[in-house]
Structure 1
Amino acid sequence: MRVTVFGATGGIGRLVVRQLLDDGHQVTALVRTPAKLALTHPDLTVVTGQLSDRDAVLQALSGADAVISALGPSLKRSATGTAVTNGTRTIVQAMKAQKVTRFIGLATPSLADPQDKPHWKHKVLPVMAGLMFPNALAELKGMTEAVTGSGLDYTIARISNPTNKPATGRVRSGFLGHDRVGSAMSRADIAAFLVSQLTDTRYRRAMPAISN
């Protein structure tokens, strides 16, 4: 499968690229600074550009079967603006132009899925995030709405506490109030879950919460 990855130089994005290549996929990564990816492979194509560059995004999506986005907002309290939301909107528009329909990305349990039941995380997490990371929460809402309202075939994995622990291969996934899903999850397992959604149809047009 030909997969375009956004956010490929981040902690989760690098692992997504490696997992895809290990699984035999052809990967295109849009990055601002190719040296940060620190990876070469016969099946890896690197496009240099920014999310604000629509032509670069279109180029990265040419011939793609699916998109995996490991994009996320800055958690600095001083952060301002809507760069990630705007970038996600650009990706969505370019996907439609290139007739790419499958989108796999990330969000937070601070945002509810219609399949959730009432849960303490719906009350606590948005308040905590709003106090500690107000711009990040606004960005996550904006980028999620850009995808869920687009008509794309999406799966958005909601994560709350990514760690740098080794992969365990153990994944809990589902909907708050229905399924036993925790909070912490290794970035390696998050990456593996995102890649698995290329062929797993359980969470089409849904936002499962995931953890170890």
Structure 2
Amino acid sequence: MRITVFGATGGIGGHVVRQALDAGHKVTAVVRKSSSFEVEHPSLEVVRVAGLDDPEPLREALDGSTAVISGVGARGRKDGPVASRSTRSMLTAMEAAGVRRFVAVSAAPLGPIPADESFLNRRVVYPMINAFAADVYADLRLMEAAIMSSATDWTIVRPPKLNNKALTGHYRTVVGGTVTKGYFISRADVAHLMLAVLDDPATIDQPVGVSY
């Protein structure tokens, strides 16, 4: 399978690139011209672009691809609507290239609160998290809306707080929902799931909650 990875220099996208190559896939990594990207592999092609706002330069990165994985997101509250703006360009480029499978990362607070979640989490923790990062989540909601209204075969992965611990390959998932008492997960394991859902038809047109 040839996979185009957007956000390939990011924490999740970098893991997607390396894990996909280790699994024998061919990878096209899309990186900004100003970014450092030192991964080398016979099955890796690197496409450098000025930015992700214009879909036309992204079209080249989709030639021959079977699927697209996006790890693009705001690095902080001051970055602005990075996820929604970039994702709209990706979707336009995908439509032009005829690529349908799309997997993107979002965030657990955008999912429904599980019915069996603790009272403290439902009434205190979740509202605090949403209030603290309101701008980031507003951007992700716009991104998710664009994806869900697209013609792609999409999957949205919603992790909780991320860390840089090693890949385990062991985590809980809920298709269409949110993991109860899911507090954190490594970026490496989020990447692992994003690759795993590519061949799982049960995740098409579904959000997937994930956590340890």
- The answer, yes or no, to whether TM exceeds 0.5 is yes
For 1:10, the equivalent position in structure 2 comes to 10
Percent identity between the aligned chains?
Answer: 37
Q: Say if 1:188 and 1:179 are closer, same or farther in 2 by CA, change over 3 A.
A: closer
Q: Say if 1:38 and 1:161 are closer, same or farther in 2 by CA, change over 3 A.
A: same
Q: Say if 1:131 and 1:200 are closer, same or farther in 2 by CA, change over 3 A.
A: same
What is the CA deviation profile of residues 83-136 of structure 1, one whole-angstrom value per residue up to 9, with x for unaligned ones?
Answer: 3211100111111111111001111122236xx754656765663344322221
Q: Say if 1:55 and 1:140 are closer, same or farther in 2 by CA, change over 3 A.
A: same
2:18 and 2:173 map into 1 onto residues whose CA distance is 22
TM-score by length of 1: 0.88
What is the CA deviation profile of residues 34-92 of structure 1, one whole-angstrom value per residue up to 9, with x for unaligned ones?
Answer: 7522101111111111101322211111221100011112323xx15323211100111
Deviation at 1:202, TM superposition (A): 2.4
Whether the 8 Å CA contact 1:172–1:181 is kept in 2: the answer is no
AA partner of residue 98 (structure 2) = K
Any unmatched runs of 5+ in structure 2?
none
Q: What is the SS of the residue equivalent to 2:110?
A: coil
TM-score by length of 2: 0.88
2:210 and 2:87 map into 1 onto residues whose CA distance is 22
For 2:136, the equivalent position in structure 1 comes to 136
Equivalent pairs, count: 208
| Paired residues for 1:63-212 under 5 Å | 63-76=64-77, 79=78, 81-112=80-111, 118=115, 120=117, 127-174=127-174, 180=180, 182-212=182-212
Q: Say if 1:155 and 1:134 are closer, same or farther in 2 by CA, change over 3 A.
A: same
Whether the 8 Å CA contact 1:172–1:180 is kept in 2: the answer is no
Whether the 8 Å CA contact 2:114–2:179 is kept in 1: the answer is no
RMSD: 2.3
What is the CA deviation profile of residues 131-181 of structure 1, one whole-angstrom value per residue up to 9, with x for unaligned ones?
Answer: 322221111111111101113111111111111111222110005878656
AA partner of residue 153 (structure 2) = D
1:209 and 1:80 map into 2 onto residues whose CA distance is 25
Shifted more, 126-135 versus 43-52: the winner is 126-135
